[in-house]
Chains A and B, each alone.
Chain A
C-alpha cells in the first residue's frame, strides 16, 4: 500500500520566488521519488498522556485574560478517503491580538501581551474532531516585499498515521482583504485548494456572549484505492 501523490496544483513547489526566502532554501537538484516503505507508512503515536487537558485553551494559560476577541476554532481531521482520523496530535501557534509573536526574533512594533503565549495542543477524538479556544490573531508586517503584511492566521502542525501524511499548514479567516496579496496563500495555482485554507464562520460553535466560532477542517493524504506495489 502507498499514499496517493498530490493532486496537480494543490501542493506548493519548493521554489516560489514571490516568497523570497524560498530562493536560497529550495533544493535545486532533482528529487528522488521515494517508494513508500514501512519507514514511510508508519509514524509516531501520541495521546492524551502527552498533553495537558487544558492545552487547547490559549486564553487560560496566564493569570489574566489575553486582550483581543475570543474565538473557538474547531473542525475535523479526515483523510482523502473521508475517514476520520482519531488520536492525532495537533499543535498550533499564533500571534497575539496586536499581531506580535511572543518570540525574540519578532521585532514588530506592536505590544506583547503578558497573558498570551500563543501555543496550544489537542488530540482528535473518535470522529476526528478537535477544538481550541483562543483569541483572533492580528495581521503583521514582514519584509518579503514592499508593504508586505501577513493576513491573520494560525499555524497548524499535524501528525498523521504515516510519516508521509505529516502536515504543517496555516488557517486563515474569511473575508480577509490581505489574502490576495499574500504569497503564502497564493503559493498554489489551484484556487479551490487555496480557499480550503480559509476557515468558515460557524454559528454552531459560537458561544453566546463569549466567543465567535470558526470551523477549519483538515484533510491528510489518503491511501491509494488500489495497491500500486507489485505483490510481495
Chain B
C-alpha cells in the first residue's frame, strides 16, 4: 500500500553544472530585520584535506522565529523578502560562506523552545546521502536549554557552535571524520 522513498545517490563531482544557477550566499537583503551575521567555514576530510566539491545548504527561521514555509502554522510575522534558504558551493580551499540574520527561537518537542540555530544540509562526492547538522551561536544563553543540543554528548557540542572571529565573522567548520568530527544527525 505505502510506497518507499527513492534511494539517495551521491551528488558526484559535477554538481556545479546543476546547482550553480541558484547559489544564494546573501540571504538577507537590506531591510530584513534582525542581527546581521556572516557565517564562514571550511570542510575537511579524514586527512584534513579541504573538500572543494561540496554543496552546503542552510535553512533558518527569520528573526521572529517564523519559517517561510506553509508547514509553519505559527502566527508570528513573515518578512516578505526573507526566504531563509542559502546555498554555497565550496571553493578550492574548501570554504563556504553566508551572510544572513540571526534566526529567532522556534518551538521544540514537548513544549520546549529551541535556541537560535541554522539547519545545515551537506552534499558532496563520496556521500551517498546528505549529512544533516546544525549551527548554533556562541554565547547565546538559550543554548543551555536547547532540546537538540541536550541530545549531543557534552564534549562534542562545540562542533555545532559557531565562534566569533576577530574580524566579526562567525566561524563554523566541518570535520567529516576523525578528531573533532562534527556532530551529524540521523534524520
**Contacting residues of chain B (1-53) with chain A, CB-CB under 8 angstroms:** 2-19, 21-22, 45-47, 49, 51, 53
Assembly CA distance A16 to B157 (angstroms): 27
Interface flag for A145 (CB, 8 Å): no
Contacts known (A43-B71, A232-B111); A168 close to B123, Cβ less than 8 A: yes
Annotate B145-164 by CB proximity to A: 1 below 8 A, 0 otherwise.
Answer: 00110011000100000000
Assembly CA distance A190 to B41 (angstroms): 37
Contacts known (A33-B185, A118-B17); A169 close to B117, Cβ less than 8 A: no
Assembly CA distance A27 to B21 (angstroms): 29
**Contacting residues of chain A (20-54) with chain B, CB-CB under 8 angstroms:** 21-29, 31-45, 50
Chain B nearest Cβ from A227, distance in angstroms: 12
Chain B nearest Cβ from A219, distance in angstroms: 5
Chain B nearest Cβ from A101, distance in angstroms: 5
Pick the residue among B147, B151, B177 that contacts A27 (CB under 8 A): B177
Which bucket holds chain A's interface residue count? 35 or more
Q: Which residue of B lies closest to A165 (CB)?
A: B5
| B3 & A22 in contact (Cβ 8 Å cutoff) | no
Interface flag for A210 (CB, 8 Å): no
Interface flag for A126 (CB, 8 Å): no
| Surface stretch bound by B, among A64-72, A173-181, A192-200, A201-209 | A192-200
| A16 & B128 in contact (Cβ 8 Å cutoff) | yes
Assembly CA distance A164 to B4 (angstroms): 15
| B5 & A11 in contact (Cβ 8 Å cutoff) | yes
| B178 & A193 in contact (Cβ 8 Å cutoff) | no
Interface flag for B77 (CB, 8 Å): no
| B14 & A25 in contact (Cβ 8 Å cutoff) | no
Interface flag for B109 (CB, 8 Å): yes
Assembly CA distance A19 to B143 (angstroms): 38
Annotate A94-106 by CB proximity to B: 1 below 8 A, 0 otherwise.
Answer: 0100000111011
| A169 & B8 in contact (Cβ 8 Å cutoff) | yes
Chain B residues with Cβ under 8 A from A184's Cβ? 9-10, 128
Q: Which residue of B lies closest to A218 (CB)?
A: B6
Q: Which residue of B lies closest to A183 (CB)?
A: B128
| A37 & B9 in contact (Cβ 8 Å cutoff) | no
Contacts known (A37-B109, A39-B59, A119-B18); A27 close to B8, Cβ less than 8 A: no
| A42 & B124 in contact (Cβ 8 Å cutoff) | no
| A169 & B71 in contact (Cβ 8 Å cutoff) | no
Interface flag for A78 (CB, 8 Å): yes
| B186 & A103 in contact (Cβ 8 Å cutoff) | no
Chain B residues with Cβ under 8 A from A22's Cβ? 126-128
Interface flag for A162 (CB, 8 Å): yes
Interface flag for B181 (CB, 8 Å): yes
**Contacting residues of chain B (97-146) with chain A, CB-CB under 8 angstroms:** 106-111, 114, 117, 119, 121, 123-132, 134
20 A-B contacts (beta carbon < 8 Å):
A12-B8, A14-B127, A19-B126, A24-B177, A25-B177, A26-B176, A32-B184, A34-B187, A37-B148, A39-B67, A42-B59, A44-B59, A93-B17, A93-B19, A106-B14, A166-B130, A168-B8, A169-B6, A184-B10, A193-B4
* Closest 10 pairs (CB-CB, A-B): A93-B18, A21-B126, A44-B85, A42-B69, A12-B128, A25-B126, A34-B185, A31-B186, A42-B67, A170-B9
Partner-B contacts on A (CB < 8 A): 6-7, 10-14, 16, 19, 21-29, 31-45, 50, 78-82, 91-93, 95, 101-103, 105-106, 117-119, 121, 155, 157, 161-164, 166-170, 184, 187-188, 192-194, 196-197, 218-222, 229-230, 232
Partner-A contacts on B (CB < 8 A): 2-19, 21-22, 45-47, 49, 51, 53, 57, 59, 61, 67-72, 74, 83-85, 106-111, 114, 117, 119, 121, 123-132, 134, 147-148, 151-152, 156, 176-178, 181-187
